[in-house]
Structures are given as structure tokens and as C-alpha cells.
Structure 1
């Protein structure tokens, strides 16, 4: 077996998991490998000694003459959040126990239950509990981020000399409380048989990336989540809304997760192509968002899975995972009879650019609010508008449509359509080598033939009739040929595909020079 080189390193970062219902964000750690995105949450685990057997920990603190209990708290029932330890001061009483951590919810103080107590009630209990205080705590894995300091932040003490406290600010219990004696008390220190605890990141959710999709938009809206996105696995598992502390972090992680999904998709394509004939290979596939038609839609975009395979362009609601799934596509179009068009993306924050692909069929008027959009126009004027999450994905779709179409044109060589003019049934052939030929359907008698280079223009009524303007090589005069087709758009798109493929075969660099999506990629 060929060695493919070392696996890419595991990527990690500290981020937030945002809950849209409560509008709270929770500290998490993300771990990205080639195939899986793992969500980790912090928990306190016993690493030695005699474990108490429950998630609760009961800790005895001795108030120190300087520093008091050595901790601060936030929260309270009046704000529907628990009272949580928000700071632990180094080398003071709480820190010396080795059993208390930022993020611990306070359950009892000297045997008094305080789960439903207000912030002020817990502050009063702790400050007036005497020199020896016993508290029972449990680590709150999903404590709202505002209850805790950012990880690694120093914790300067707050000035609470006025005696007032707020549940959303630290109440410092490092000050002296009302003790029964002025004699110095021994520090709180663990003994050998006491359990030892550590705060660790533990795996809580794994999102497989094969055939997964990414969404930066709030479901059912056009609201873009800045510095945030969601990863949804093929089996329906969701990462939840992942928020990042900076725009750069959000962009880096969006690109990294997208790159891993793209690499796994390429592997799936290679596996699928082993079961397909050379003329029916998968060129590209992946998730997009399709714009819904009609003003009554509750949401404007919905996820779709697109594939370019052999002679066809497929639209699925879910990815094909077996050879039998290809027959259940929602829509299937012949590649030669569709027009791919990049039509909007951001060059800068508020600068839009209208980009045209190929040789300039008439412009279409789009009013999409999302960047990175493209359309696929099929026969009878049927149009699909799609959006992708990244400019790099847009460039890949553009290049893949070109490649798949050109391969199909060269593979088939020609396409023939029935047409009519002045009541006579005719056949019209577009041939990669010969150009355009019109002949009688019954006798096969050729009426006229022109090369691609002789086509100088065209016009149509947008319904069934088209005028093709050819230059006679001998007389240099323009000859007009009028024809009528049942599906005019399919024929025009086919002409477009064959001409573009012919140009690309003569000058491979020409089509790349027309790609504004790729120009944007290179410039940025």
C-alpha cells in the first residue's frame, strides 16, 4: 500500500457553545482531526485518593486572617443561574484544598442548602460562617460563560468594602468574615487520604465530518452568524452553534473544517468511481444551499447536495451513499443543456461584483442577500440559485462545472434536436468537430452546414424561435437561419457548451482568464 504521508496534526482551540434559547454561551474546547470534530467540556475528575463516590465534593475551609476563604462567587437564583465560584486566589484557603475550582456550583454551606438561594444570601452565609466553613460543590459543566472569567485570566480582587454585591459581578470572599476568634487559624491543606481532583477537558460530542455540512446562517433566516457556525453530520448530529473569540479564529476554523470535509468528500468520490464506468465518473459533489422559489416560503434557503457525474447534474436532498441512491435524485439535468453562472460574491466588505461566465448569454437579474451564489439555468427556463459558505467553494464549483461539461461534450461528440421551420420537420445537429448541421428529418438531406467560427451572432424570442447569423466563407455575407424548437433554452445551452469546449480545446487558458471567482481567490 502506498504511504500517503503523515496525518495532519490535531487542531484545538478554546471557543464557546451558544444556546439560542437561553442566549447563554458556554466554554468548550474544540478538537479537529481528519475525520471528526470533537466538542469537549470541562469537568472535575478524581485523580487519586479516596473518591467520595458522587459528583458532589464536600470541602472544609479554614478562614485565614489575610485572604479569608480565598474565593469569589457570581450568580444567584434571582437571575435564574446558580451561585458559582468565579475566582480562586492563588495560595489562599480555597486554592490550598486542591478540591475547589472555578466553575463549581455551591450547593451547601455548613449543611444549609443554597441551590435556590439568592446571591446576597450565599454571600451572607459565607461571610458569617465562622473560621471553619464546610461547603458542598458540584462542577457546573454548562455554566454560562459570564459566570466565569476567561480561561487563564488573572483575577484581581474586587472592592466590596461598601458591603453591596451583585450576582453578575464577583463578590470577594477573600476578605475576613465575622470570626469568633482573632487567633490565626491553620491553613486548609489536603492530607494523604483525601481525594485529589483535577479540572480536565472531556469529550462530550463527536461530529463525523464525512458528508457533513456547515451553516453560518440562523435557521429560517438570512441572519449571518458572525464569528460562528454550525457543523451538521450526515446522521443528523449537530455540533451546536460554535462561537469564536475573534473573527480570525472563526475564519481559520471555518476553513479548516471545510478543508477536512472536502478531503473526505474526495475520498468518497474515489470510492464511488471504482464502481462506475469511465464515462460515468463523479467529477465533483458537495453541500450547497438552494434558494426557495415563491414568496410564501418560511425560509429562503434550504440545504441541497449537488453532484456532477458522467453526463448529468444531480440535485439531492441527502447525499447518495450507495450506487442505488443515484436514482432517487430530486432533479437530474443533462450537463450540456444547463448554463452555470456565477453571479454574486463579495470582493470587499460592501462591494458586490456581477460575474459572468463563458461567452456572455443575456444577464439575469438576481437579488440574493447571500454572497458566493451561483445559478444553474436548465431547459424551459427552469432556474436554480445556490449559495456556498466560502469563496473557495464557489471557485471549485465553477471549475468543476466547466470540466464536467467539457468532458461530456468531447465524450458524446454531437447532439441532435428536432426542429421545424415553415411547417417542415428538420434536424439540427451540434457537432464538436463539424460545427452546425441542419438536415431533413426524413431524407437526411443536408440543407446547410457551418463551422463554429462562422457563427457571428444570434437572437431569440425567449420562447421557441431563434435566429442564427452565420458568415459565408466565400461571399463574406451574413446568412440568417431561423429555426423553432420545443425546448429552445436547452438547445441554446447546448450550443454554448459546445462552443466553450471548443475554445477551451484550442486555448485552455482562456476559460481560466474569464473566471472572476478564481481571480478573487488568487487576489485574496
Structure 2
């Protein structure tokens, strides 16, 4: 029902279903309550950051609904508390209160190896806008449920978490916060190296914010090849372990194909995406804002 909602406390106590005369009145109250919850969460975030080092600050945190996995649970959601802090993306069943709570999260993922993706926006004319922000990434979600403001966070080994928030403004904040948190982590990290193999040889593949891509022998440390981010012209993968990277040779202008195998290919592809996005953002900060589908539509409606 568009004219009703429910408020739940941390201890599980519910207000019951609050029903209003009109959908607009319900929406006004929902927005007011959500704003108050966000303000209190922001206060807690600022207090937590006083005890954290500059490299381990909380960028954003808040409540979402997570769709549970399973063949018969496509419509079943559960409340989760998400946080972007330092180098990690956290998923909690209840908000962290003490320092120890942060290591007790249900899931912790490195920010360089996740991919944020918006799926649905509910527009003013009651039409769905299905937004694929990042081309070339396979979408395998069943989006038949009628919840608006949906996004997913793709993680390693091809797994994903599918979330929903109550307001379009919340979706816009999560989108911007993920972009900022990943950008900061890429700059802090500088580079990430992954073990890989090709034709029986054990190699190391490094993604470096300053240098681009480097592949070297894991034993001798001899550099086999190196390319800048701008030289990457395309890629393809088998969805399992193997990827082909297409680079343009600056001297010959010819395309060179480099094929590698990784244990967690998804994490590596997400890392490449994070570093390239951060590189583009560092050169053209306006680019990220122009790519923000959530903010573009939420604030114009």
C-alpha cells in the first residue's frame, strides 16, 4: 500500500502498520522519519571517526533491505546495516557500536574489488528506469519484484548482494558514497598485485594508479610487459578464470592480446574497473557526476 509503512526499532519492536489518508501524507512522514534516522546515523558516524585514523574513516553507513538468496525467496528481504569504512565494505545484521563490532560483521569486502550497480529507479511518471551503469558487466538478477530504488554490490567469485532503500535520495547518497570510498581507497592503495598464470608459468599482474598494468615473472621478477591505462582498448573473459586484455602498442599502433588466468577473476576485473574509474575521476572530476543516474533523476523529479 502506497499510503502505509512500518517503523522497526533495533530491538525488533514495531510501531505496527501506520496508515495515512493519502499516499502524499505517507510519503511526507516517511521522508521526515528517514531524514531523522539519517541525521542520527551521521552523528554516530562523526563520533566513530574521532577514534579512527585518517585512512580508516567511515565514509557512509545506513539501513537497507537485502534480498535473500534462494529459489523461493526472490521476494524475501531482510534488514541489513551497511558501512563504507577505510578500505572495506561491511554488511551487518545490527549496527556496530564498539570497535570490536567492526570485526564481527557478517561480510567484509575490499572496496577495490566490488562494483556498485543501480538497477531500478521509480520515476515521477510511474515508469521503471532500469539503469546499467557499467557496460560489459553481465547482469543476472531477476528483477520482477516491484520494489523501487534497487542496487547491487558485485563482489568476488561472481557473487552479488542485492539491496533496496526506501527513498530515491538514499539511493543517490549510496551511489555517491561508493564512488568516493572506492576513489579514496584506490588513491591510498596505489597498486594491487594478483597471482596469475599462463601456459604453466606463474606470473604476477599489477594494477598501478600511476603506471597502469604490469605483468612480471613471480620468481625472477622480470617485467614481461607493461601498458598504460589509456592503452587498454578492450577485454573479454570466459566468466570463470580466463581473461583477454587488448592493448594498443604505441609504436606500431597494433593491438596486442594478453591472456591470463586468475583464481578470482571477478575481483581482478572489479579492481581494474575501480582503478580506471579513479584515474578518470582524477583527471575529470565532473565525469563521475555526469555518470550519476540516481542523482540525475532523483533530484530532477
What is the CA distance between 1:345 and its match in structure 2?
1.7
What is the CA distance between 1:346 and its match in structure 2?
1.5
Q: Which of 236, 243, 262 in structure 1 is aligned with 2:38?
A: 262
- Structure 1 stretch displaced more, 347-356 or 511-520: 347-356
Judging changes above 3 Å, is the alpha-carbon distance between structure 1 residues 249 and 461 closer, same or farther for their aligned structure 2 residues? same
Q: Which of 364, 378, 384 in structure 1 is aligned with 2:139?
A: 364
Deviations 1:317-350 (A, max 9, x none): 1111111111111111111001110011222454
Show the 5 A alignment for 1:394-405. Answer: 394-405=171-182
The equivalent residue for 1:354 is 130
The equivalent residue for 1:500 is 277
What is the CA distance between 1:292 and its match in structure 2?
1.0
Structure with greater Cα Rg: 1
Deviations 1:195-233 (A, max 9, x none): xxxxxxxxxxxxxxxxxxxxxxxxxxxxxx321111112
CA distance in 1, matches of 2:44, 2:263: 39
The equivalent residue for 2:220 is 443
What is the CA distance between 1:466 and its match in structure 2?
0.3
Q: 3-state SS of the aligned residue for 2:246?
A: strand
Q: 3-state SS of the aligned residue for 2:11?
A: coil
What is the CA distance between 1:299 and its match in structure 2?
5.8
The equivalent residue for 2:20 is 244
CA distance in 2, matches of 1:469, 1:298: 38
Q: Which of 290, 294, 298 in structure 2 is aligned with 1:517?
A: 294
Q: TM-score, normalising length from structure 2?
A: 0.96
The equivalent residue for 1:480 is 257
What is the CA distance between 1:443 and its match in structure 2?
1.0
Q: TM-score, normalising length from structure 1?
A: 0.56
Deviations 1:171-211 (A, max 9, x none): xxxxxxxxxxxxxxxxxxxxxxxxxxxxxxxxxxxxxxxxx
How many corresponding residue pairs? 299
What is the CA distance between 1:298 and its match in structure 2?
9.4
CA distance in 2, matches of 1:366, 1:295: 12
Indicate the structure with greater helix content: 2
Show the 5 A alignment for 1:366-385. Answer: 366-368=141-143, 369=145, 370-385=147-162
CA distance in 2, matches of 1:332, 1:497: 17
Higher RCO (CA 8 Å, separation ≥ 6 residues)? 2
Runs of 4+ that moved beyond 4 A: none
CA contact (8 A) 2:67 2:74 kept: no
Q: Where do 5+ consecutive residues of structure 2 fail to align?
A: none
What is the CA distance between 1:250 and its match in structure 2?
0.9
CA distance in 1, matches of 2:73, 2:204: 42
Show the 5 A alignment for 1:91-170. Answer: none
Deviations 1:41-91 (A, max 9, x none): xxxxxxxxxxxxxxxxxxxxxxxxxxxxxxxxxxxxxxxxxxxxxxxxxxx
CA distance in 1, matches of 2:62, 2:70: 25
Deviations 1:278-330 (A, max 9, x none): 11111111111111111244961111111111101111111111111111111
Judging changes above 3 Å, is the alpha-carbon distance between structure 1 residues 403 and 329 closer, same or farther for their aligned structure 2 residues? same
CA distance in 2, matches of 1:330, 1:361: 29
Judging changes above 3 Å, is the alpha-carbon distance between structure 1 residues 260 and 283 closer, same or farther for their aligned structure 2 residues? same
Q: Where do 5+ consecutive residues of structure 1 fail to align?
A: 1-224
The equivalent residue for 1:337 is 113
